[in-house]
């Protein structure tokens, strides 16, 4: 089936009809693409800040929501393969039952705005129970909690990152700060070895590859055009599950389309049946996230799937890199440019998040008084 004809029937703008640069100039009201270009330097700036060495924890709990929680997911994936402590990401107003007692673990609380109500509530609970919380934000209430202590000895310490941009475009700041502080706790001992081995420069090259304004051969537009009008299934090697989740969220939020994540080998025990049904052919798009460090049996499963799954759109996005960290960050660059390409081709501003803003306005009619609740005996 001819791709351009297929997409035009679904109302997708063809780049040949309307130049992508014109679309960007009309739709990119908050310079999202400018922030995407800065991603490697955002990471580099955070990694360049020196931290004192700290005592190694046994357990780490990362609090956050949305794009801010993604930083915890990436840290957890790294820790699973290369870490010295178990790392868990927790999304919600509370803390895990096993994480409530004093000394239950080292906490990180990440909210780009510093005002995410779920994250603030969970942070207060963690401190109330006597735990130390590293807080990362560009300001807001989290910043105001710097240095506060609870009656049981819980304390918050705040680290500031640059503000003024859409939160999901600030992942370089957030993950850079989180991973840097985690390194100071010896949670990811190899981090700086990877960083100092030319990582940032290679990431800059990946940005140049995917930048569809400055590189007419960018794969982002070609991939994006095939995703529109279909539900996107993102299937990742389990070590890249964090990337699959973030890719899903970027397609949802930037692109405004449906997507869902799953992992290999797990999905071969369930979802694979749905992929082999006749109705999947024209309704689904399969996007595989792979990397060089996959288990050889997972690689064989990928080979089988690309042959056995009969859908019109199948992409294998191989995340290049000399380490898991680099493969994950490669995926971030690819997903950000692809999801923004989806937005522009659909006539959407990738910074536009109307429903999220409307929901927050609704909730703010009866806000939680978090400061009043803080350290309530």
Strand-pair partners of 315: 287
Q: What pLDDT is stored for residue 9 in this prediction?
A: 29
Token pair 């049946």: residue = 273
11-55 pLDDT tens trace = 444 554 458 999 999 999 999 999 999 999 999 999 999 999 999
pLDDT value at 373 more than 80: no
- Mean pLDDT over 235-243 rounds to 98
Are the CB atoms for 205 and 329 separated by under 8 Å?
no
Q: How many helices (H) and strands (E) does the chain have?
A: 18, 9
Q: What pLDDT is stored for residue 19 in this prediction?
A: 86
Give all strands of the β-sheet with 132-137 in edge-to-edge order.
86-90, 59-63, 106-110, 132-137, 155-160
165-195 pLDDT tens trace = 999 999 999 999 999 999 999 999 999 999 9
Q: What pLDDT is stored for residue 104 in this prediction?
A: 79
DSSP 8-state class, residue 121: H
Give the model's confidence band at 253: pLDDT under 50 very low, under 70 low, under 90 confident, else very high.
Answer: very high
Q: What pLDDT is stored for residue 370 in this prediction?
A: 67
- Residue 310, SS3? coil
126-144 pLDDT tens trace = 999 999 999 999 999 999 9
pLDDT value at 124 more than 50: yes
Delimit the domains of the chain by residue range: 3-30+208-346, 39-189+364-373
pLDDT value at 347 more than 80: yes
**In sequence order, what are the residues at sequence separation of 6 or more whose Cβ sits closer than 8 angstroms to the Cβ of residue 12?**
225, 228, 229, 345, 346
Domain 3-30+208-346 = CATH 3.30.300.30 = no
Name the CATH topology of 39-189+364-373: Rossmann fold (3.40.50)
Q: What pLDDT is stored for residue 103 in this prediction?
A: 74
Confirm whether 3-30+208-346 and 39-189+364-373 share one CATH topology: yes
Are the CB atoms for 331 and 289 separated by under 8 Å?
yes
Q: CA 116, CA 136: separation in Å to the nearest integer?
A: 12
- Mean pLDDT over 217-234 rounds to 97
66-98 pLDDT tens trace = 999 999 999 999 999 999 999 999 999 999 998
Strand-pair partners of 88: 61
DSSP 8-state class, residue 149: B
Is the pTM of the predicted complex or chain greater than 0.75? yes
Q: How many percent of the chain have pLDDT more than 90?
A: 86
First to last CA, the chain: 66
How many residues are listed for the chain in this entry? 377
Give the model's confidence band at 375: pLDDT under 50 very low, under 70 low, under 90 confident, else very high.
Answer: low
Q: Encode burial over 132-145: b for 16+ CB neighbours within 10 A, e otherwise.
A: bbbbbbbbbbbbbb
Look over the chain and give the mean of its residue pLDDT values, rounded to a whole number.
Answer: 92
Q: What pLDDT is stored for residue 283 in this prediction?
A: 96
87-91-92-97 Cα dihedral, nearest 10 degrees: -30
Q: CA 71, CA 174: separation in Å to the nearest integer?
A: 6
CA dihedral sign of residues 31, 32, 35, 40:
negative
304-327 pLDDT tens trace = 999 999 999 999 999 999 999 999
């Amino acid at each position: 089936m001819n791709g351009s004809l297929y997409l035009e029937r679904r109302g997708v703008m063809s780049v040949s009809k309307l130049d992508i640069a014109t679309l960007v100039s009309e739709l990119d009201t908050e310079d999202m693409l400018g922030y995407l270009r800065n991603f490697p330097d955002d990471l580099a700036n955070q990694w360049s800040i020196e931290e004192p060495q700290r005592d190694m924890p046994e357990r780490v709990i990362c609090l956050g929501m949305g794009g801010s929680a993604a930083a915890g997911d990436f840290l957890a994936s790294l820790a699973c393969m290369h870490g010295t402590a178990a790392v868990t990401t927790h999304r919600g107003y509370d803390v895990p039952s096993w994480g409530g007692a004093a000394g239950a673990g080292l906490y990180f609380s990440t909210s780009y705005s510093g005002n995410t109500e779920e994250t603030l509530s969970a942070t207060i609970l963690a401190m109330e129970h006597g735990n130390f919380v590293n807080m990362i934000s560009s300001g807001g209430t989290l910043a105001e909690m710097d240095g506060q202590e609870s009656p049981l000895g819980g304390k918050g310490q705040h680290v500031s990152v640059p503000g003024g941009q859409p939160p999901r475009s600030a992942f370089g700041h957030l993950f850079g700060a989180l991973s840097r502080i985690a390194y100071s706790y010896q949670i990811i001992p190899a981090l700086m070895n990877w960083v100092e081995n030319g990582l940032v420069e290679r990431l800059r090259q990946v940005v140049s590859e995917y930048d569809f304004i400055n590189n007419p051969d960018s794969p982002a537009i070609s991939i994006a055009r095939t995703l529109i009008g279909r539900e996107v299934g993102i299937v990742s090697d389990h070590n890249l599950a964090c990337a699959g989740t973030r890719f899903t969220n970027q397609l949802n939020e930037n692109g405004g389309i449906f997507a869902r994540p799953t992992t290999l080998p797990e999905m071969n025990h369930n979802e694979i049946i749905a992929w082999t049904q006749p109705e999947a052919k024209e309704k689904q798009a399969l996007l595989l996230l792979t990397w060089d460090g996959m288990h050889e049996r997972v690689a064989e499963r990928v080979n089988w799937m690309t042959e056995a799954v009969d859908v019109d759109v199948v992409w294998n996005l191989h995340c290049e890199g000399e380490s898991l960290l680099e493969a994950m960050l490669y995926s971030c660059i690819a997903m950000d440019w692809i999801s923004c390409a989806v937005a522009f081709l659909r006539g959407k501003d990738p910074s536009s998040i109307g429903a999220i803003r409307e929901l927050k306005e609704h909730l703010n009619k009866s806000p939680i008084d978090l400061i009043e609740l803080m350290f309530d005996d």
